[in-house]
Amino acid sequence: MSIHIPATVGQIAPLILLPGDPLRAKAIAESLLEAPVLFNETRGMLGYTGMVDGQPVSVMGTGMGIPSISIYVTELIREFGVRTLVRVGTCGALQPEMHIGDLVLAMAASTDSRVNQRRFSGQDFAPVASFSLLSRAFATACEQGWPVQVGGGLTSDTFYATDPDWWKDWAEHGVLAAEMETSALYTLAARHGVRALSILTVSDHVITGEHSSPDERERGFLRMAKLALSLLDRAGQVH
């Protein structure tokens, strides 16, 4: 039992999928986990554990932004022994050749947040994905023929920016897409010696203003969740 997750130790699996939206967690649990059991509903942040090929897997919402995901990820790792955390979320594309529905595997996460500067006394930390999760997710996405890009992401503190050109410096440095959580996920995973990966789907294009339809979003989430579950090997381990 932790401050924000009143579950008991053992109720949450070593592998957890983390969508931002708790209702996505419910949808993933109901469509991809066998016999899902609700372990959290405090603040509406639904969390479930069920089985996949005989192995326990959990899925829980994180809310939006660095402060919210940081609280849940810290408690999941410290209090519940979670060892592999896979964010499944949406992002806004920053490169002209990218399309709505593309998968993005965030290899690293730049940020406009000051949270890590405080953590590192004004110095810059480079939050990176687990290479083993990243390389296997990339291989699986390619095998499935899913459009996938691997590169840097931007974790932003603002969804509605005041400067219309906010994205240009990042785009000119090759950053693929913006979202609001990955830098915290990767930093906390590094701090606690566990594995993390952000699997993202382009839901909007920052340059063209295009948006995905609700149907496209739904399909994107199922595909990301399947990709995350493919990280379990036949013995139910994640390496």
Residues tagged active-site: 204
- Cα–Cα distance measured from residue 20 to residue 43, given in angstroms and rounded to the nearest whole number: 13
Query: Closest distance between ligand HPA and the C-beta of residue 12, in Å?
Result: 26
Amino acid at 123: Q
Q: Which residue has tokens 């899925």?
A: 59
Query: Would you count residue 16 as binding ligand HPA (CB under 6 A)?
Result: no
Task: Looking at residues 77 to 116 of the shown chain, list those that interact with ligand HPA (rule: CB under 6 A).
Answer: 90-92
How many whole angstroms from its chain centre is CA 230?
15
Instruction: Please state the closest distance from residue 232 (CB atom) to ligand HPA, in A.
Output: 27
Q: Give the shortest CB-92-to-ligand HPA separation in angstroms.
A: 2
Measure the CA angle with vertex 14, ends 11 and 19; round to 5°. 85
Which residues 6+ apart lie within 8 Å of 13 measured at CB?
Answer: 49, 55, 56, 57, 58, 82
Contact region for ligand HPA (CB under 6 A) — 106-114, 116-124, 201-209, 213-221?
Answer: 201-209
CB 205, CB 92: distance < 8 Å: yes
Q: How far apart are CA 218 and CA 230, in angstroms?
A: 19
Q: Applying CB under 6 A, what is the total number of residues that bind ligand HPA?
A: 11
Among 179, 185, 199, 227, binds ligand HPA (CB under 6 A): 179
Shortest gap between Cβ of 210 and ligand HPA (angstroms)? 11
Only one of the segments 78-86, 107-115, 174-182, 218-226 lies at the binding site for ligand HPA (rule: CB under 6 A); that segment is 174-182
**Closest Cα to residue 198, out of 127, 144, 140, 145?**
127
Q: Does 206 bind ligand HPA (CB under 6 A)?
A: yes
- Using CB under 6 A, pick the residue from 79, 157, 204, 210 that binds ligand HPA: 204
Contacts for 177 with CB less than 8 Å, ≥ 6 apart: 91, 92, 93, 94, 95, 98, 104, 106, 153, 154, 200, 202
As measured in angstroms, the least distance from the Cβ of 123 to ligand HPA is 25
Nearer to ligand HPA, 11 or 183 (CB): 183
> Measured between alpha carbons, how far is 30 from 145 in angstroms, rounded to an integer?
25
Shortest-Cβ-distance residue relative to ligand HPA: 92
Question: Is 120 a binder of ligand HPA (CB under 6 A)?
Answer: no
Q: 131 or 159, CB closer to ligand HPA? A: 159
Which residue ranges make up the site for ligand HPA (CB under 6 A)?
90-92, 156, 159, 178-180, 203-204, 206
